[in-house]
């Protein structure tokens, strides 16, 4: 792996029973960049991310987090790789019976052998990073959608990961709150040097954040475009790609 690559996907195949979702997917993500995964509905964006974070095993191919093939690593190496990544799931995936602080503390208790007082201090720091330090004792049902996204992001940051995976971080938010989440993501990338991989179809976020992007296609089950979002919008030879990035319907 190139020294500046922190994630590499090699000839990845994704299938559920007899249905092939993706085939021969290959790309890499560089250190400190914001990398975007886009595509239409059913193109396999979230499935790809789930394979990249080790939640599902590939039908074929490999996924490397730095030097570790997470689909074929010994258990100790696999869990060591998991400590390098944080994940914000679509919908935030907060546990409704636990407070915001308790949700953020979960990965720390799971992976770090620290006393409760130290965990509480770390949680407060993470909540301060996302502007939720005053909401530690609230339940998820007591905070807004944008706050839930921030709480999920704080939990993803709990172990100081090198790499963040974000699944639709601005989905369901009004444009102002979505822009605030984008600014927070950009701040994390620039201030901490965190590599960030985002699954999204929000064009405002794509152009505000994305340094490179790949576009998945449902019919070909593969990558049909790869490059800077503005270049894909203005110069890609595939009209499907240009329409997607410019939000233009097919010509009648």
Q: Quick check: 97 pLDDT over 80?
A: yes
Identify the helix (H) or strand (E) that includes residue 245: helix 239-246
What's 236's domain CATH number?
3.40.50.300
What is the percent of the chain where pLDDT is above 90?
A: 77
pLDDT for position 250: 66
Ramachandran assignment for 237, one of left (phi > 0), alpha (psi -120 to 50 degrees), beta (any other) = alpha
* Boundary residue ending a domain (135, 160, 185): 160
| Total of domains in the chain | 2
* Boundary residue ending a domain (108, 133, 160): 160
What domain range includes position 219?
5-84+161-246
CA atoms within 13 A on the CB side of 222: 9
- Closest residue by Cα to residue 130 from 155, 96, 111: 155
116 and 170 inside one domain: no
Give the least confident one: 2-6, 17-21, 95-99, 101-105: 2-6
Q: Quick check: 18 pLDDT over 90?
A: no
134 and 177 inside one domain: no
Name every residue whose Cβ is closer than 8 Å to that of residue 128 and which is 6 or more positions away in sequence.
Answer: none
74 and 15 inside one domain: yes
Greatest distance between any 2 Cα atoms in the chain: 64
Q: Tell me the pLDDT tens digit for each residue of 105-153.
A: 998 998 888 889 999 999 999 999 999 999 999 999 999 999 999 999 9
Q: Quick check: 248 pLDDT over 90?
A: no
- Going by pLDDT thresholds of 50, 70 and 90, the confidence category of residue 82 is confident
pTM of the model as a whole: 0.92
Block residue for tokens 């990961």: 161
Between CA 162 and CA 151 the distance in angstroms is 19
pLDDT for position 79: 81
pLDDT for position 225: 96
Q: Quick check: 83 pLDDT over 60?
A: yes
pLDDT for position 77: 84
Q: Tell me the pLDDT tens digit for each residue of 66-77.
A: 989 998 888 888
Give the least confident one: 7-16, 83-92, 116-125, 133-142: 83-92
Q: Are 179 and 2 in contact (CB under 8 A)?
A: no
77 and 166 inside one domain: yes
98 and 72 inside one domain: no
Q: Quick check: 252 pLDDT over 50?
A: no
| Mean pLDDT of all residues in 207-211 | 95
Q: In the chain, what is the straight-line distance between the N-terminal and C-terminal CA atoms, in Å?
A: 46
- Going by pLDDT thresholds of 50, 70 and 90, the confidence category of residue 1 is low
Q: Quick check: 3 pLDDT over 70?
A: no
pLDDT averaged over the chain? 92
pLDDT for position 170: 87
225 and 172 inside one domain: yes
Q: Quick check: 7 pLDDT over 90?
A: yes
């Amino acid at each position: 792996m190139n020294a500046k690559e922190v994630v590499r996907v090699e000839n990845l195949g994704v299938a559920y029973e007899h249905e092939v979702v993706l085939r021969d997917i290959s790309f890499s993500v560089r250190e400190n960049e914001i990398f975007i995964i886009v595509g239409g509905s059913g193109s396999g964006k979230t499935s790809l991310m789930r394979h990249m974070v080790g939640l599902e095993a590939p039908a074929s191919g490999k996924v490397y987090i730095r030097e570790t093939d997470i689909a074929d690593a010994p258990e100790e190496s696999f869990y060591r790789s998991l400590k390098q990544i944080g994940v914000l799931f679509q919908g935030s995936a907060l546990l409704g019976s636990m407070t915001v602080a308790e949700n953020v503390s979960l990965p720390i208790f799971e992976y770090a052998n620290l006393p409760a007082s130290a965990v509480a201090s770390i949680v407060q720091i993470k909540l301060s990073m996302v502007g939720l330090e005053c909401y530690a004792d609230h339940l998820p049902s007591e905070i807004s959608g944008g706050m839930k996204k921030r709480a999920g992001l704080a939990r993803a940051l709990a172990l100081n990961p090198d790499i963040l995976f974000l699944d639709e971080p601005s989905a369901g938010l009004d444009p102002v709150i979505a822009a605030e989440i984008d600014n927070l993501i950009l701040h994390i990338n620039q201030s901490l040097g965190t590599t960030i991989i985002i699954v999204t179809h929000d064009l405002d976020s794509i152009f505000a954040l994305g340094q490179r992007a790949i576009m998945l296609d449902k019919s070909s089950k593969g990558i049909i475009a790869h490059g800077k979002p503005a270049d894909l919008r203005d110069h890609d030879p595939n009209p499907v790609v240009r329409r997607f990035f410019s939000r233009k319907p097919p010509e009648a």
